[in-house]
Chain A
Amino acid sequence: MSPAKTSALIETRQIGKSFGKTIANQNIDFQVVPGQIHALLGENGAGKSTLMKIICGLQQPDSGTLFWKGQAVEISSPKLARAMGIGMVHQHFALFEGLSVAENIAFSIDGAVQGPALEKKILALADKFGLAVEPHRPVFELSAGERQRIEILRALLQTPELLILDEPTSVLTPQEADQLFDTVRKLANEGHGVVFISHKLKEVRDLCDSATILRAGTVVGSCDPRTTSPEEIAELMLGSREIKAVSTPRDTGGERLRIQNLTMSVDAQSLQIESLSLLAGEIFGVAGVAGNGQELLFAALSGEQLCRPADSIVINNEPVGATGPNGRRALQAMFVPEERLGHAAVPHMSLIDNTLLTNVTNPDIVSRGIVNRQRLIDNAGQISERFEVRHPGLKRAAQNLSGGNLQKFVVGRELLKQPALLVVNQPTWGVDALSAVRIREALLSLAGSGSAILVISQDLDELLEISDRLAVLHQGVLGNARPVHEWTVEALGLAMTGSEDNHDHS
Chain B
Amino acid sequence: MSVDSIFLLKLLTAAILLATPLLLAALGELVVEKSGVLNLGVEGMMLIGALFGYIAAYNLQTITCLEELVPGFCQKEERVFTFADYIIALLAAATAGALLAAVFGFLTQGLRANHVAVGLGLSILGAGLSNSLGSNFFGVNYTSVQVADHPEVFGKDALVWFSLAAVPTIWYVLQRTRLGLVIRAVGENHDSAYALGYRVSRIRFYCILFGGAMAGLAGAFIVLVHVDWKEGVTVGKGWLALALILFGTWRPMRVLCGAYIFGLLWASELRLDNLFPAWQLEWKTLLTTAPYLLTIIVLVLISRNPRMIRQNAPASLGKPFNPPS
Contact = CB atoms under 8 A, between A and B. Distances in A.
Interface of A: 94-99, 103, 106-108, 114-115, 138, 140-141
Contacts of A114: 178
Contacts of B304: none
- The 6 A-B pairs at the shortest CB distance, nearest first, are namely A94-B192, A96-B188, A98-B188, A140-B310, A96-B189, A107-B185
B176 A115 contact: yes
Interface string B173-217: 000101001101100110011011000000000000000000000
Contacts, number: 45
B174 to A, nearest CB: 11
A98 B314 contact: yes
Which among A98, A103, A114, A140 has the greatest number of chain B C-beta atoms within 10 A? A98
Contact of B310 (A97, A107, A108, A115): A97
Contacts of A140: 310-311
Contacts of A99: 181, 184-185, 188
Contacts of A96: 184-185, 188-189, 192-193
B315 interface: yes
Contacts of A108: 196
B315 A98 contact: yes
B182 A107 contact: yes
B9 to A, nearest CB: 42
Given A94-B189, A138-B311, 15 more contacts: A94-B192, A94-B195, A96-B188, A97-B188, A97-B310, A98-B310, A98-B315, A99-B185, A103-B181, A106-B178, A106-B181, A107-B181, A107-B182, A107-B196, A115-B176
Interface string B282-321: 0000000000000000000000000100111111000000
Nearest to A79: B197
Interface residues of B, number: 19
Contacts of A141: 307
A106 B192 CA distance: 14
A456 B195 CA distance: 31
A97 B196 CA distance: 15
A53 to B, nearest CB: 14
Contacts of A107: 181-182, 185, 196
23 contacts: A94-B195, A94-B196, A96-B185, A96-B189, A96-B192, A97-B188, A97-B189, A98-B184, A98-B188, A98-B310, A98-B311, A98-B312, A99-B181, A99-B188, A103-B184, A106-B178, A106-B181, A107-B181, A107-B185, A108-B196, A140-B310, A140-B311, A141-B307
Contacts of A138: 310-311
A228 to B, nearest CB: 38
A107 to B, nearest CB: 5
Contacts of B176: 115
A140 B313 CA distance: 13
Nearest to B197: A79
Interface of B: 176, 178, 181-182, 184-185, 188-189, 192-193, 195-196, 307, 310-315
Contacts of A98: 184, 188, 310-315
A94 B196 CA distance: 9
A137 to B, nearest CB: 10
B153 to A, nearest CB: 40
A290 to B, nearest CB: 21
A95 B185 contact: no
A107 B195 CA distance: 12
Contacts of B178: 106, 114
A115 B176 CA distance: 8
Contacts of B311: 98, 138, 140
Contacts of B188: 96-99
B187 to A, nearest CB: 8
B142 to A, nearest CB: 49
A115 B196 CA distance: 20
A309 B155 CA distance: 72
A106 B313 CA distance: 20
A108 B307 CA distance: 24
Nearest to A114: B178
Contacts of A97: 188-189, 310, 315
A141 B310 CA distance: 10
A96 B196 CA distance: 12
A244 B312 CA distance: 58
Nearest to A141: B307
A218 B302 CA distance: 55
Contacts of B307: 141
A39 to B, nearest CB: 27
A114 B312 CA distance: 22
A18 to B, nearest CB: 22
Contacts of B196: 94, 107-108
Contacts of B312: 98
B181, B195, B312, B313: most-surrounded residue (chain A CB, <10 A): B181
A95 B192 contact: yes
A141 B309 CA distance: 12
Nearest to B186: A96
Nearest to B177: A114
A103 B187 CA distance: 14
A112 to B, nearest CB: 9
A138 B188 CA distance: 12
A425 to B, nearest CB: 24
Residue among B192, B196, B313 with the highest chain A CB neighbour number at 10 A: B192
**Most central of A96, A106, A114, A140 by chain B CB within 10 Å:** A96
Contacts of B315: 97-98
A262 B85 CA distance: 76
Contacts of A103: 181, 184-185
Which interface residue of B178, B188, B312, B313 has the most chain A CB atoms within 10 A? B188
A294 to B, nearest CB: 24
A49 to B, nearest CB: 16
A49 B178 CA distance: 32
A107 B193 CA distance: 9
A136 to B, nearest CB: 11
A98 B312 CA distance: 7
Residue from A99, A107, A138, A141 with most neighbouring chain B CB atoms (10 Å): A107
A235 B196 CA distance: 39
A94 B190 CA distance: 11
A103 B315 CA distance: 16
Contacts of A115: 176
A114 B180 CA distance: 13
